[in-house]
Chain A
C-alpha cells in the first residue's frame, strides 16, 4: 500500500495572549467586574471548569452531533481548509469536531467513560491543551456549515465548534481579538465602541449629505421616532468606516414613501456572541434591538446587510435572549424586494452595466434561508448578472467568517485557504461581486487583494441605490 504524503499541520500555535484582559481588569470595566465578560485565571482549575461547563451547557442537538459521527470522512472535501490543503489531515471538519467529541466521550458518554482508549476519548490535560483547542476551534474554522450540509448523518460540526468556543470564552481562553470585540460590545452595546455622540453626529451628517445630493429638504434619518413601519438596525461599521450605506438606505426609504426610524440605543444588529459562542452576550445585544422596537412600537425590524447580524437578529437572538418574536424581522434586501415588487421604487438596470456576481454569505444562505431574494433584486437592478459556481447554499465561505477577521494570528492560514474562493471569483469573469454581508466585504476584499483579482465588492443596497430612478415630479413637489 503506497502511503499518501502528509503535510505538516496548518494549525497555528498561537500562545494565550492576555494583555487586553489584564488591562480590562486593571481598568475595572463593568462587564469584567460583574462577571459577564470572563478573563483567564491561570491559578484556577480550568480543565475542571471546562468539563463542568460542558456538562451544564450541552443540549440535545449537540449530543446527537457528537454521537452520530461514524468517521466516514465525507465532510473533508466540503471544507475550504481541507480542499486547499488536501495533504493536511488536521484540516478536516471531522478532526476539528473530534477535539470536543473526545472530551465529551470521556466525560459524558458510556463507552468513552468505561473504555476510553476504544474511542480515543480523553480529557484535556492542562491549560496548554485548552489553548491548543482554542487554536483549532477559533483558528481553523469559519463555522460556515458547509460540512454540516454534506454530512450523511447530519452532524453539525459548525455548531460543535461554536459550542466549544463558548466554553473557552467562559474561561477567558480566547484570541485577543475576540476578547477585545466582546469587551467593546458588552461595554458600549456595539462591536466597535462607537459612542452615542459619534453615532448621532454621523447620522446628522449623512442626512445633510443626502439632502444636498438630492436637493430635497425633507429627506430625514429619524432617530427614536415612534409608531413607524419599521425600525432600522445597522452594522457599526456603517458608522465607523463607511456611512454611505446609511445615506443610500435613507434615499431608498424616502422614495419608497416609508415611515421608518433608527433607535437611539439598540441599533447594533451585529452580534459577537455568535462568534465567541457566548449566548449571554448574544442575548444582551439582540435584546437591545427587540426592546428598542417595542419601545418605539415599530411594526417590523429591518436589518441592514450583514450576514452574522442577520442570523443573530432574525434567528438566534430571540432564542438567546429568551424573547418571543412578536413582529416581523427581515433583511433590508427583503424590504427592497418588496418595494420593487410593489412598484414603490423604480430602477434602471442599465445604471449597473458591469458584470456582477453574487456571493452567498454562510449566515445568510445556509443558516439564514435567504437565497433567492437577493438574486431577484439583483436581476432587476443589474444589466449583467452571473452566478458563480457553486452557488446558493453550496457556495464557499468568503473565508473571513466566524469572526476570523478580528483574529490576526490566523490570517496567513485563512488567506492561504482562500485560494479556492479566488479561483471561484476569477472564473465568473465579473467585475463586481455583490454580497449581503459586511464581514464578507472585508473577507472578499482580502481575497481580492491577496490574489490580485480584478474585482470590487459591493452590497445590494449600493446597486439598488445606483439604479434608483428618482421620479422627476417628486423633486419639484417636495422641495
Chain B
C-alpha cells in the first residue's frame, strides 16, 4: 500500500491519496496531507474551519457532509472553498480531513 512519510510519521494512503485508516487521523497528519496532496504549505484558520467541520461531521455521521452544509457552517462560498482547496471540497478538503475516498464513478 502506498504511503506518505514525513518526519518519522507514516501515513498509509490508498492509490488516490485518501487515508486507508481514517481513524488514525490527527491534526498533524492533516498538515502533511495538505502539503503532499493539495500543495498547501500551511493550513490557515480558514482551512481549519472547514477541516474541523468535516471531521466532526464524519465522526458523528460516518459520512462526508454535503457541500452546502460545508458552506453554510463555515460561512464560506463554494468559490472560496475551491480557492482554499484546489481539488474542491470532496477531493481536497475531505482528503485533508482524513476521510476515506468517496464512492461514485461520476
Q: Do chains A and B touch in the complex (CB under 8 A)?
A: yes
Chain A residues packing against B (C-beta within 8 Å): 177, 180-181, 184, 191-193, 198, 201-202, 205, 209, 235-237, 240-244, 270, 272, 275, 403, 405-406, 408, 411-412, 438-439, 441-442, 445
What are the 6 closest A-B residue pairs judged by CB atoms, nearest first?
A406-B105, A192-B104, A411-B15, A241-B90, A205-B68, A180-B103
Identify B105's interface contact among A403, A411, A441, CB under 8 A.
Answer: A403
Does B77 count as interface, using CB distance less than 8 angstroms? Answer: yes
User: Can you give 10 A-B contacts (C-beta < 8 A)?
Assistant: A181-B103, A181-B104, A184-B104, A192-B104, A202-B66, A202-B67, A236-B104, A405-B106, A406-B106, A408-B15
A241 touches B88 (CB 8 A): yes
B15 touches A192 (CB 8 A): no
Q: In the complex, how many angstroms separate the beta carbon of A252 from the nearest chain B beta carbon? A: 18
Residues on B with C-beta less than 8 A from A191 are 104-106
- Chain A interface secondary structure, helix, strand, loop or mixed? helix
Q: In the complex, how many angstroms separate the beta carbon of A109 from the nearest chain B beta carbon? A: 34
A155 to B91, CA, bound (A): 38
Chain B residues packing against A (C-beta within 8 Å): 14-16, 66-68, 71, 77-79, 82, 87-91, 101-106
- Nearest residue in A to B64 (C-beta to C-beta)? A240
If A209-B77, A243-B78, A408-B15 touch, whether A270 touches B106 (CB-CB below 8 Å) is yes
A235 touches B106 (CB 8 A): yes
Identify A240's interface contact among B16, B67, B71, B77, CB under 8 A.
Answer: B67
- Nearest residue in B to A237 (C-beta to C-beta)? B106
A411 touches B16 (CB 8 A): yes
Identify A242's interface contact among B14, B16, B78, B103, CB under 8 A.
Answer: B78
Residues on B with C-beta less than 8 A from A243 are 67-68, 78
If A209-B77, A408-B16, A411-B15 touch, whether A242 touches B67 (CB-CB below 8 Å) is yes
Q: In the complex, how many angstroms separate the beta carbon of B23 from the nearest chain A beta carbon? A: 18
B103 touches A240 (CB 8 A): no
B103 touches A177 (CB 8 A): yes
A342 to B68, CA, bound (A): 36
- Nearest residue in A to B15 (C-beta to C-beta)? A411
Q: In the complex, how many angstroms separate the beta carbon of A221 from the nearest chain B beta carbon? A: 13
Residues on B with C-beta less than 8 A from A244 are 78-79
A202 touches B68 (CB 8 A): yes
A406 touches B67 (CB 8 A): no
Q: In the complex, how many angstroms separate the beta carbon of B100 from the nearest chain A beta carbon? A: 11
A38 to B103, CA, bound (A): 19
Residues on A with C-beta less than 8 A from B78 are 209, 242-244
Q: In the complex, how many angstroms separate the beta carbon of B40 from the nearest chain A beta carbon? A: 14
A209 to B77, CA, bound (A): 9
- Nearest residue in B to A20 (C-beta to C-beta)? B103
Q: Can you add 20 more A-B contacts, CB < 8 Å, to A184-B104, A191-B106, A275-B105?
A: A177-B103, A191-B104, A193-B103, A201-B66, A202-B67, A205-B71, A209-B77, A209-B78, A240-B67, A240-B102, A241-B67, A242-B67, A243-B67, A244-B79, A405-B106, A408-B16, A408-B101, A411-B16, A412-B15, A438-B106
- Nearest residue in B to A446 (C-beta to C-beta)? B16
Identify A405's interface contact among B14, B66, B68, B105, CB under 8 A.
Answer: B105
* A205, A209, A270, A411 — most chain B CB neighbours (10 Å): A205
Residues on B with C-beta less than 8 A from A237 are 104, 106
A235 to B105, CA, bound (A): 11
- Nearest residue in A to B91 (C-beta to C-beta)? A241
Residues on A with C-beta less than 8 A from B106 are 191-192, 235, 237, 270, 405-406, 438-439, 441-442
A243 to B88, CA, bound (A): 11
Q: In the complex, how many angstroms separate the beta carbon of B2 from the nearest chain A beta carbon? A: 9
Residues on A with C-beta less than 8 A from B16 are 408, 411
Residues on A with C-beta less than 8 A from B15 are 408, 411-412
Residues on A with C-beta less than 8 A from B105 are 177, 181, 191, 272, 275, 403, 405-406, 439
A240 touches B104 (CB 8 A): yes
